[in-house]
Amino acid sequence: MNGRVLITGAAGALGRSVVQRFVAAGERVLAVGDRGIAEIASMAPPDIIKVHRADLTVTSEVDGLFAVAEADGLSAVVHTVGGFRLGKIAELSDDDWSFLLKVNLDTTFRVFRATARAFLKAKGGSLVAVASPSALLGEAGVGAYAATKAGVVRLVESLARELAPAGARVNAVLPGTMDTAANRAAMPKADPGKWVTTDAVAAVIHFLTTPAASAVNGAAVRVPGPIL
């Protein structure tokens, strides 16, 4: 790729692995995040990694972010931002529902809209979003989360068809439970050996942006990790 790769949620566990994977592949990165984003800047020289703070639920901030990205050349976008709330539907609060809509769908819509406009002008590009296997089946206790992640996958499918004539591609990855510090703390009795590593997910994301994946468009790619 000749342009820069925009990575949202870059300071998160998965986002950090994604940044490292693209940098290792010789790509230039525009890392987007909030807390911890300064640490990402220290991972490589400023000509390789630039950082940007933006509230992805605010249209003006997303538009400003993409103005910076396009001015520097934009070849790919990876949207890793997302949130989780556990609870049966009868027990979820309005705040829980609003949080999931805001973090999982509002950010995705605004990033996708800005990406679509950029890729239509550039006549190409690759977008990868992070969803969840819950997007394919709403289990008890994760109904609201599953609904928002299903929304992400439907947006991926639609945008892939809208951008295909311009030579751009849009795909989703659906990781299983990832081996992160937060998940280990939340599930201390679970066996993390059965979980997928963030580095493994990052490798799949990177592959989907490369010419080797040119035949993959509008796909929801599951990354379950070890099957033990």
Which one has a higher pLDDT value, 227 or 145? 145
In this prediction, residue 181 carries a pLDDT of 85
pLDDT exceeds 80 at position 1? no
pLDDT exceeds 70 at position 217? yes
pLDDT tens readout for residues 5-17: 999 999 999 999 9
The span from the CA of 14 to the CA of 29, in Å, is 15
In this prediction, residue 228 carries a pLDDT of 55
In this prediction, residue 3 carries a pLDDT of 80
Q: What is the mean pLDDT of residues 81-99?
A: 95
In this prediction, residue 37 carries a pLDDT of 87
What mean pLDDT value characterizes the chain? 94
Determine contact, residues 62/109, Cβ cutoff 8 Å. Answer: no
CATH of domain 4-223: 3.40.50.720
Q: What percent of the chain has pLDDT over 90?
A: 83
* Beta-carbon-side half-sphere exposure of residue 55 (alpha carbons within 13 Å): 5
pLDDT exceeds 90 at position 102? yes
pLDDT tens readout for residues 39-87: 898 899 989 999 999 999 999 999 999 999 999 899 999 999 999 998 9
pLDDT tens readout for residues 165-189: 999 999 999 999 888 888 888 889 8
pLDDT exceeds 60 at position 110? yes
In this prediction, residue 103 carries a pLDDT of 97
For tokens 């945008």, the residue is 159
